[in-house]
Amino acid sequence: MNLPSFRSAIADIPHTDDPAQVRRKSRDFTNSPILREEAEGKVADLLVTPRTKADVLRIAAACARHRVPIIARGAGTANFGQGIPMAGGIILDMTRLTQVLWVRDRKVRVEPGISMLDLDHQLQHDHGLELRMHPSTRWSTLGGYVAGGHVGIGSCAYGILHDRGNIAGIQAVSIEDEPRIVELRGNDVNRVHHAYGTNGIITELEMPLAPAYRWLEAIIEFPDFMQVVRFLIDFCQEQGVIKKLATGNGWPLPRIFQPLAPYVTPGYSTAHVMVADEFRDSFLPMIEDAGGRLVYEGLEAKGPFKMPLYEFSFGHVRRHIDKFDPSLIANFGMFPADDLYGCIKRIRELLPDAPFALDMKRKDGILLAQGSPFFPYVDAAHLAQKVEDFQALGYIGANVHTFFVRENGMKVIDDAEVAFKRAMDPYNLMNRGKFTSDDVEKPGVGASLPTRGWKYRQASELVETPTP
């Protein structure tokens, strides 16, 4: 790595080596104690802030010519260490690339640094449309979400980002002496999606849009968590009711959500849902039919708890857990469609007193769920045993305690993926040390967790994501 020569090559592009700024931008929301320990002391050498796509191309060329590792960064809201540099080099702060390039045919073309909250506000106001899904941290950048995310609010209706049609197009830049601009469409968008920025710098995104409804938030309580599960399954199967969120919280998780304390009955589990307001009259009878009780309803983000209800779902659950008891840990898995209720029931019975987070989603049009109980962290061996116990009951484990794309298990890394990585990053500079554990000498204990990987539909069959 020839950093002085690199700096000379990008001299007029904003950059800094201020230790405080570089250290701050070298961290994200990673919450795994295993990952935090393995990331200790890992920082970049330089923070570079491109203003335009032309700046990105110059930076990419300079990185290639001077062999400088590079990691693209959005808002830094990643949960699995995607934004932590493991090999020094530069942090490429993409948050100045925020242009909305066009909106037409229920699609939007944008630069990757725009926050999803800002983008949705603009789309809702100007076009009556919104993104199909977004993460629980909605001020994440769209580029960061596509590069490192997987699922979100809206996935109970539209599926996950990987599903066909949920990403219309990706433009990415290679790290070569003469960088290429590559346009990906169709199935090829998943080459870059959920690759942690290891195989292309995203410079433009084309996303499908949905009608922007007035969303009603609701909290429903039940005396038993499995009643919550049954309600959520039935709720998600009601195709005539427009919905955006379906989340379950097994007691004592509801008491951990401190802002929601006035709506919690001790010992009760809860469902959090979002429904298009005009379907309220169709939705309310479902609660009575399921034996639940509505304890809160209101329009999105208008509640007295001063945050949208979706901020108590998906990745944000971990943030609330950390405020309550940071020693608690989970390894989020998928509950299979063919035994959805039964698998969740068996895991609940294994740890009946543990906080349990459950998020409903669709994959390939099929309803399933992801989540986990939370339990005290002892060490990696104890966590591995819990994963084995869960998987013996039908749970399909991903690995949220490793930095590697392949070992994480949410993305298939086959020969075609490896070939694409080599073509886009021939010097192995992009988020170095994150593609597969083969790239590093010591992959760390997290990479060895006995997870099976999640499943994806290929050739009309569900096959497991291969993990070592």
Tell the burial category of 325 from Cβ atoms under 10 Å away from its Cβ (0-12, 13-18, 19+). exposed
Nearest to 89 by CA among 26, 13, 12: 26
Q: Which of 87-91, 201-205, 234-238, 412-416 has the lowest mean pLDDT?
A: 412-416
User: pLDDT per residue over 389-400, tens digit each?
Assistant: 999 999 999 999
Query: Percent of the chain scored above 70 by pLDDT?
Result: 97
Examine the pLDDT at 457 and tell me if it is beyond 60: no
Check residue 463 and give its pLDDT. Answer: 43
At CA 341, angle to CA 336 and CA 347, rounded to 5?
80
Rounded-to-integer distance, Cα 357 and Cα 335, Å: 12
Check residue 461 and give its pLDDT. Answer: 42
Could you tell me the domains of the chain? Answer: 3-93 (3.30.43.10), 215-397 (3.40.462.40)
Rounded-to-integer distance, Cα 179 and Cα 57, Å: 6
User: pLDDT per residue over 42-93, tens digit each?
Assistant: 999 999 999 999 999 999 999 999 999 999 999 999 988 899 999 999 999 9
Q: At what angle do helices 225-237 and 340-350 cross, to 10 degrees?
A: 160
Check residue 456 and give its pLDDT. Answer: 57
The DSSP secondary-structure symbol of 466 reads P
Q: What is the mean pLDDT of residues 248-270?
A: 97
Looking at the chain, the number of H-run helices and the number of E-run strands are 15, 22
Check residue 441 and give its pLDDT. Answer: 86
Check residue 455 and give its pLDDT. Answer: 66
Strand 461-464 with 455-458, pairing: antiparallel
- Residue 446 or residue 290, greater confidence: 290
Check residue 442 and give its pLDDT. Answer: 86
Per the listing, tokens 């942690």 go with 196
Rounded-to-integer distance, Cα 150 and Cα 112, Å: 16
Rounded-to-integer distance, Cα 141 and Cα 146, Å: 9
H-assigned helices in 33-172: 33-38, 53-66, 116-127, 142-148, 155-158
- Residue 387's pLDDT band, with cuts at 50, 70 and 90, is very high
- Residue 18's pLDDT band, with cuts at 50, 70 and 90, is very high
Q: What is the mean pLDDT of residues 227-256?
A: 97
At CA 71, angle to CA 66 and CA 77, rounded to 5?
165
Average pLDDT, the chain: 94
Omega into 85 within 30° of 0, i.e. cis? Answer: no
Helix or strand run (H / E) with residue 104: strand 100-104
User: pLDDT per residue over 134-174, tens digit each?
Assistant: 999 999 999 999 999 999 999 999 999 999 999 999 999 99
**CA pseudo-torsion sign 380, 412, 71, 114:** negative
The pTM assigned to this predicted structure is 0.94
400 Cβ contact partners less than 8 Å away, ≥ 6 residues apart:
32, 79, 80, 330, 331, 332, 408
Q: What is the mean pLDDT of residues 252-276?
A: 97
Q: At what angle do helices 340-350 and 380-392 cross, to 10 degrees?
A: 140
User: 185 in the Ramachandran plot: left (φ > 0), alpha (ψ -120 to 50) or beta?
Assistant: beta
Rounded-to-integer distance, Cα 458 and Cα 468, Å: 20
- Residue 439's pLDDT band, with cuts at 50, 70 and 90, is confident
On whether the CB atoms of residues 51 and 58 are closer than 8 A, the answer is no
User: pLDDT per residue over 185-196, tens digit each?
Assistant: 999 999 999 999
Rounded-to-integer distance, Cα 271 and Cα 221, Å: 6
The DSSP secondary-structure symbol of 364 reads T
Q: What is the mean pLDDT of residues 244-262?
A: 97
User: pLDDT per residue over 289-336, tens digit each?
Assistant: 999 999 999 999 999 999 999 999 999 999 999 999 999 999 889 999
